[in-house]
Chain A
Amino acid sequence: MSTNPYLPAPARIEKIVIENDEKDLKTFRLAFCNKADEAAFGHECGQFAMLSVAGAGEIPIGIASSPLDKGYVEFTVKRYPAGVVTSALHDLSEGDVVGIRGPLGNSFPMKDMPGKNLVIIGGGFAFTTLRATIRWLLSGAMRGKYGNITILYGARSPGELLYKSELEEWRKRSDVTTVVTVDKGDYAWKGRIGLVPVVLKDIAPSAVDAFCLVCGPPIMLKFTMPPLLELGFAPEAIFTSLERKMSCGIGKCGRCNVGSKYVCKDGPVFPYSKIGEFEDRGLA
């Protein structure tokens, strides 16, 4: 096994799940071709990896599977028409080989939260690393280590919801509160309708002894932070994940920085107190 941080490990596409009606969101289940690479991967919730498609390039994608899921790693990728790699990736089939370089970045500081309550808020397709975290939390070994868990997940429409079957499973469980909402329903939708910040105010989870993990598009984050702060969550107790265009993913190419921090190396997970600092200096 190489110590070269630029070399991807080959992985075969085992399964492709089309997540949305638009068919531009796919979850790729990948299995490392070499057992040694699989053993060395061992990621934590919140981390990302660089996915490479030969002849196209590499892109940073959040790891959507739990660290306890054995034998595979999952990534949910949106296809951008102007994107060289996302387009190439979406054109691949089960059985094709891609490259994985990682795990990279920091993780949600779950070790700092033993016994605490967790509020997990996701919007749109920024739900991927949160899904990894929820799978991990709800696994037998981990559930007992944390207090109440509240999940709030919203998408633009029912067709845009990711991981639909899993949302159903979580809703059925009694050891977690799962609230799913859409901005706009359709003829079959019988669930909640409302923007995430509005629904958040409605369900008003307690901030006592609680941490919050929130990921979503910038506009959603902008309107979700004020209600969170109002509910009593301290900025140091709210964690989010930033995204920037990346090349190396290991803090050398100078591209992904927000201020003096590299999203690939010092992030992508940052406490909201840090985001506030970035915003004050006009950097975010």
Chain B
Amino acid sequence: MASVALDKKNLSKLVAAMRKQGTVLGPVASGNEVVLAEITGALVPELEFANFKLPLKREFFPQCEVISRYDKNGQVEEPVMSGPVVLFGVRPCDTLSLSFLDKVFMDEKYKDPYYAKRRDNALVISLACTAPAATCFCMSTGGGPSSRLGTDILAVNLAKSILFEPVSNKGQTFVKKNKSLFRNPADAELKAQEKQEADSRNKMATVEVSRAPGSLGKKNDPAFWEGLAETCLSCGACTFLCPTCHCFDLYEEKQEAGSARLRVHDACMFASFVREASGHNPRARKGERMRQRIMHKFSYAPENFKTAFCVGCGRCVVNCPSNIDIRETIAMVNA
């Protein structure tokens, strides 16, 4: 859909308009980091930053969420969920992850009402990437620094203005509703957008993710996986920071007035993930758990959802305490 332009001096007016739509979450400076937090008062969103440490999935699939409650009368109740929200300044790799998670949580047969309602309530305005990190490889995972997948509006930060390109009907509705804030983009601005996108793409490294499903089909050697997982701590940092990892547990918590069922993030990397009450553990070895993680992302997901479950954001690479690098893993698998 056709882009519109906002002069940067009007950014605070745009924030005010977003606030009419819902709670505004955007890039906020905190210490020497930029985090996704509520834009309150006269705060203006940061526009120059790499990416948030935490993945976007947490806004739709929180680390801890009450699924249901059970009280003394034996009634099963559904709790109230959060309201309308505008997510501004999220990166295209993170919105790409939403398009993958939609396939898991909003399938035909068992639509997840908690995820679905948050998705419905959210207007996503992503910000195109201009400075990919050395660990980024989104172009190898079906995304890109200006990918329009999973977002409602793609924003592009230029020198004196920001372009807004509606991608979905929801995005178009927002732009139309606030058209007094915007103007048509100048040719020079559109050219600047093109150049920015090309520059970012050129900076990006590639990883042969597309070859992985085929290669993994032949990788049955337990010794390969044990060797790869030797220095793995089975901690779960990679899983919890990954935009597409969606494993969870349903935990029943006794409370004063009955009990609550919580959905909490879980990780296949944890030793106890599939341990049964009998004591049997189908994935007792680290190598088996590493294989499960890699196969799930690069073989099972392509088989079940036609896409690898990786957005090339590099969070797992940067945060693994043992520096086990998924880019190297894919190269070794493909070798």
**Given known contacts A5-B111, A55-B254, A58-B252, A252 and B104 CB-to-CB distance under 8 angstroms:** yes
**Given known contacts A6-B68, A253-B266, A254-B268, A248 and B248 CB-to-CB distance under 8 angstroms:** yes
Determine if A80 is an interface residue (Cβ-Cβ < 8 Å): yes
Q: Are B300 and A253 in contact (CB under 8 A)?
A: no
Q: Are B274 and A245 in contact (CB under 8 A)?
A: yes
Interface of A is mostly: loop
Q: Are A6 and B74 in contact (CB under 8 A)?
A: no
What is the CA–CA distance of A253 and B300 in the complex, to the nearest angstrom? Answer: 14
Interface residues of A in 216-266 (CB under 8 A from B): 244-245, 247-248, 250-257, 259-260, 265
Candidates B104, B222, B250, B299; contact of A57 at CB < 8 Å? B250
**Given known contacts A6-B67, A57-B252, A83 and B220 CB-to-CB distance under 8 angstroms:** no
Inter-chain contacts of B300 with A (CB < 8 A): 257, 259-260
Q: Are B110 and A250 in contact (CB under 8 A)?
A: yes
Determine if A281 is an interface residue (Cβ-Cβ < 8 Å): yes
Interface of B is mostly: mixed
Q: Mark A1-31, 1 if CB is under 8 A from B, else 0.
A: 0111111101000000000000000000000
Candidates A57, A80, A250, A282; contact of B251 at CB < 8 Å? A57
Q: Are A281 and B220 in contact (CB under 8 A)?
A: yes
Determine if A86 is an interface residue (Cβ-Cβ < 8 Å): yes
Instruction: Give the residue among A2, A250, A254, A257 with the most B Cβ atoms within 10 A.
Output: A254
Q: Are B74 and A10 in contact (CB under 8 A)?
A: yes
Determine if B62 is an interface residue (Cβ-Cβ < 8 Å): no
Q: Are B252 and A86 in contact (CB under 8 A)?
A: no
Q: Are A7 and B68 in contact (CB under 8 A)?
A: yes
Closest to A80 in B: B277
Q: What's the minimum C-beta distance from A121 to chain B, rounded to whole angstroms?
A: 22
**Given known contacts A3-B113, A260-B303, A281-B220, A82 and B78 CB-to-CB distance under 8 angstroms:** no
Inter-chain contacts of A256 with B (CB < 8 A): 274
Instruction: Give the residue among A2, A56, A245 with the most B Cβ atoms within 10 A.
Output: A245
Closest to B250 in A: A247
Closest to A104 in B: B110
What is the CA–CA distance of A10 and B70 in the complex, to the nearest angstrom? Answer: 10
Interface residues of B in 259-278 (CB under 8 A from A): 259, 261, 266, 268, 273-278
| CB<8 Å pairs between A and B, sample of 28 | A3-B113, A6-B112, A7-B78, A8-B76, A10-B74, A10-B76, A52-B252, A55-B259, A56-B252, A57-B250, A58-B250, A58-B252, A84-B277, A97-B74, A244-B274, A245-B276, A247-B248, A247-B250, A248-B248, A250-B109, A252-B110, A252-B112, A253-B246, A254-B246, A254-B268, A255-B249, A257-B296, A260-B295
Supply 18 further A-B pairs (C-beta < 8 A) apart from A80-B278, A282-B222. A3-B113, A4-B113, A6-B67, A6-B113, A8-B76, A52-B252, A54-B259, A80-B277, A84-B277, A99-B70, A244-B274, A245-B274, A248-B248, A248-B250, A251-B110, A253-B248, A255-B268, A260-B299
